[in-house]
A and B are shown apart, each in its own frame.
Chain A
Amino acid sequence: MPAMKQPTTARDKKALAQREGLALLEKLLLDLATTGQWHLTDRLDRLERQSLQLGDSYLPNARTTLRRLIQVGRRKNLGLEERNSQAAELIGRLWAMVQIGGRYLDGTLSGEEATEADAVLEEALGKNWRLDELRERGYFRQNLHLLELAHERFEDEVTDLRIEVSFLLDLAGGAVFRAVNYRPRKALDRTAELPSYTQPLFLPEAAVYPGFLTRRIRWPLGTEERLPTNPDALRLAHSLSQPDFARVLADFRKQIKNPLAPREAVVLLRCQLIGTLGDRVVLVDAGNNRLETADRHAGYSHVGNLRRAGGELREQPALLARLFLRPRDNALVAQPLALLSPTKHLRLGI
């Protein structure tokens, strides 16, 4: 048997470490599926130790997902079904990382997987894109006019990060982009906050990451230009909203069929009517397609805000909404983020 070639370049060394990491992850998952009972305390302790071993494997997402699984196991206030469902989602994701990540490293991706490779690389192998890499691969775009429709932040206990997201509408093409800022919670005072823009924004150039419906956007620091507030921008934004829910939902379904794709997408929907159906707040498009609204987390009700704001903007408003799959009944639902008319913009979240 010929001796294995020793990696010489940094890239090869990293790929080797990732392969070893994926092998370890595969073994761990097979073991977990064989024995079950992953939620028992000693099993969770073992998983925690094993997650540490992934630390040198350049697989940050795999490690984070494993830690999320441990967190689910340790949570006391979770019902059995809910826990099983959340755990299966995470385990399925890890299993997809093993398979797709392995094929990527082996160069054996084919078909749709190959075309979406760049999009899921960040998730599968924890790829941190550099701006120059994105430029090389042709992900840079010039002269973008954007309008921020929503801005949100949340804290991730597992990664100990504060994540700030600005949802920006491309006033030329109508796509919704997300600018993301990751800030270690321990260094909040030493890291810059992602601004929230109330005026339209001009970017001479920006990298639009590979991805699915709501792609990440990033631009060289300080190159953005805040334009004067212009009523035309809002009118334009409203006109760019998607009038056909069915088409948007079909695109979203396609996205979440990829196990490594984000489980949510933010879209701008043109509503013919926003109203109530029993207790539910429902969006209706011109073709009478309906979409239920729902809150993503307990504690703060975006839907409650939509109920109020929808009473003011009644004439075919556009709604910026986060689509997601509600685990309880596997229903596609929309979390309202902002409501627009040609003359008014109301942010619904905080």
Chain B
Amino acid sequence: MSRDFFNTLAEEVDALLGAGCAAACTNHRLPQRGRVLREMARQVPALGTLADTIDRVCQPSSRDSSRALLDLVLVVRQTRVGMGTEALKGEVVPLPPSGPWVNNLPANELYRMVEAVRADPCNADLVEPLVPHDLRLFPLVTLSPDQLGQASAQIALLDRWGDEGNRAALRLLPALGRAVLPELERDFDFSKRPGAGRRLAAMGLIDPEAAVQFCSNRLPQQPGMLGVLGKVGGPAVEVFVRVLAQPHGNYANWNLETIAITLLNQVPETAVQVLRSSLQSPDPAQRKEAIDLLESLGKPAATAVPDLIEALNDRVPLVRQAAAQALGQIGRSSSIVSPHLIACLRDANHEVQRAAAAALPQLGVPGAKIVPLLIEVLDHPDEQVRLAIIDALARSAFRNKTAQAALLQAKEREVSAGVRTRIDQALKRCKS
């Protein structure tokens, strides 16, 4: 009872100090408190001083009531100190086992690191290796909602700061854990780049499932957000892969090319992996887009050559055509590509034949085993195809007598003036 009494009294006196002496003199509760204290002073004489001071404050005629009020502030506080604290009753449960912890780094060194990170969250590299070990960094990085967390969030979510913002998003925001997810999702607008991409990347690191869910729910309204996601690279790839694994009916507008190219720059292996898995998609449009992207990626996509060869047998002509074109770009170093492309020259679809033919010269000088296969198709009914085969053969003709002879024979029987001219040019190059 007495503890509550003194706590209330202290609050009242603090308020009276803010209201001024006149309010204190006319306060009706203060004299009541004085009387209670007078009663209590019978058992605890020391409380008499407090009761006396209250009397001095309450006397309206007193000229020094302001002095008395200041005295009262002091006396109440001193008396309250002796009142004790609330008893902590109940069973105390021992803390669960943990550790082992270390933090034998001198405090000054740690401060310096923390200050460096506070000044610029991009310096998180300094602290990051210590986080799992040093007990003292836990509250700073994982629990503190302000300071480092706020600083990194601000920088990460600003639509500027380039790489620094990305690093803050990818290193520090994830360290803050699930608590920041609502902040990341709030007022999300994919058009605010690159902040939106950073948000998604951080979400993907903190909780990939939640990030995918977030993306999936919003893609119909904001199809461009996957493009934004792709800007972040590395960690976002995981989210991207998961999204790709879902049905894509709603994502017709996504900017797959942007995503893949960006991903490639940062994590080429993962990007190619993503696109290879897209080749298995039931959606032919997506299969074609994936192939186009692999083509645009060029050399780093070489690991996808077997998948592209397989795509030459796709049931959809457009996909087969795209695969043939892509193989021309990325199959240069592979000796197994040419026979498959040559086989495509007999494809039922003219466009596929032409695409395969156009790819052949791009594969470089055909080997000795390939030349006979090319000669076999020199009589192809399509003029465009024949031109491409001639171009391919011409590359080896300067040192391959069989190719030269085949070209001469082809010229004799060729009906098209244009093709004959191309054969002449090729043979001329061989002589020079």
Tell me the A residues contacting B by CB distance below 8 Å.
Answer: 29-31, 33-39, 80-81, 83-85, 87-89, 91-92, 95-96, 150-153, 193, 195-198, 253, 256-257, 259, 273-278, 280-282, 284, 290-292, 298-302, 304-305, 307-314, 325, 329-333, 346-350
B88 x A34 contact (CB < 8 A): no
Q: CB-nearest residue of chain A relative to B23?
A: A36
Nearest Cβ distance between residue B66 and chain A, in whole angstroms?
Answer: 4
Q: Digit string of B10-23 for contact with A (CB within 8 Å is 1, else 0)?
A: 11011111111111
The listed residue with most A CB atoms (<10 A of its CB), out of B16, B85, B145, is: B85
Given contacts A300-B140, A305-B135, contact A292 B88 (CB under 8 A): yes
- Cα of A151 to Cα of B106 in the assembled complex, Å: 9
The B interface, classified by DSSP as helix, strand, loop or mixed, is helix
Point out the residues of chain A lying under 8 angstroms from B69, CB to CB: 33
- Cα of A35 to Cα of B21 in the assembled complex, Å: 6
Nearest Cβ distance between residue B121 and chain A, in whole angstroms?
Answer: 16
Given contacts A33-B69, A300-B144, A332-B85, contact A91 B17 (CB under 8 A): yes
- Cα of A30 to Cα of B7 in the assembled complex, Å: 24
The listed residue with most B CB atoms (<10 A of its CB), out of A193, A274, A276, A292, is: A276
A330 x B94 contact (CB < 8 A): no
- Contact residues of B between 130 and 145, Cβ < 8 Å to A: 135-140, 143-145
- Cα of A259 to Cα of B18 in the assembled complex, Å: 20
A-B contact pairs, 14 of them (CB 8 A): A36-B17, A81-B15, A85-B14, A151-B106, A195-B106, A275-B92, A275-B94, A277-B91, A300-B139, A300-B147, A308-B101, A309-B98, A330-B80, A349-B136
Point out the residues of chain B lying under 8 angstroms from A282, CB to CB: 88, 92
Point out the residues of chain A lying under 8 angstroms from B87, CB to CB: 290
- Cα of A329 to Cα of B15 in the assembled complex, Å: 16
Given contacts A34-B20, A36-B20, A151-B107, contact A259 B74 (CB under 8 A): yes
- Cα of A95 to Cα of B78 in the assembled complex, Å: 13
The contact of B81 among A87, A253, A350, by CB within 8 Å, is: A253
B90 x A277 contact (CB < 8 A): yes
- Which of the 9-residue segments B108-116, B305-313, B358-366 touches chain A? B108-116
- Cα of A292 to Cα of B17 in the assembled complex, Å: 31
B140 x A311 contact (CB < 8 A): no
Point out the residues of chain A lying under 8 angstroms from B381, CB to CB: none
Q: CB-nearest residue of chain A relative to B74?
A: A92
The contact of A301 among B14, B67, B80, B143, by CB within 8 Å, is: B143
- Cα of A274 to Cα of B21 in the assembled complex, Å: 47
The contact of A36 among B19, B70, B138, by CB within 8 Å, is: B19
Nearest Cβ distance between residue A70 and chain B, in whole angstroms?
Answer: 14
A33 x B70 contact (CB < 8 A): yes
A276 x B95 contact (CB < 8 A): yes
| Contact size range, B | 35 or more
- Contact residues of B between 1 and 48, Cβ < 8 Å to A: 3, 6-7, 10-11, 13-23
Tell me if B126 counts as interface (CB < 8 A to partner A).
no
B83 x A330 contact (CB < 8 A): yes
Tell me if B249 counts as interface (CB < 8 A to partner A).
no
- Cα of A259 to Cα of B80 in the assembled complex, Å: 12
B92 x A277 contact (CB < 8 A): yes
Point out the residues of chain A lying under 8 angstroms from B98, CB to CB: 308-312
The contact of A330 among B7, B106, B145, B146, by CB within 8 Å, is: B7
A95 x B18 contact (CB < 8 A): no
- Cα of A320 to Cα of B264 in the assembled complex, Å: 53
- Cα of A347 to Cα of B67 in the assembled complex, Å: 46
Point out the residues of chain B lying under 8 angstroms from A151, CB to CB: 106-108
Q: CB-nearest residue of chain B relative to A290?
A: B88
The listed residue with most B CB atoms (<10 A of its CB), out of A84, A253, A281, is: A84
A33 x B20 contact (CB < 8 A): yes
- Cα of A253 to Cα of B82 in the assembled complex, Å: 7
- Cα of A151 to Cα of B112 in the assembled complex, Å: 13
- Cα of A302 to Cα of B11 in the assembled complex, Å: 29
The listed residue with most A CB atoms (<10 A of its CB), out of B10, B20, B81, B111, is: B81
Tell me if B86 counts as interface (CB < 8 A to partner A).
yes
The contact of B67 among A30, A87, A92, A332, by CB within 8 Å, is: A30
Point out the residues of chain B lying under 8 angstroms from A91, CB to CB: 17, 70, 73
- Cα of A282 to Cα of B95 in the assembled complex, Å: 10
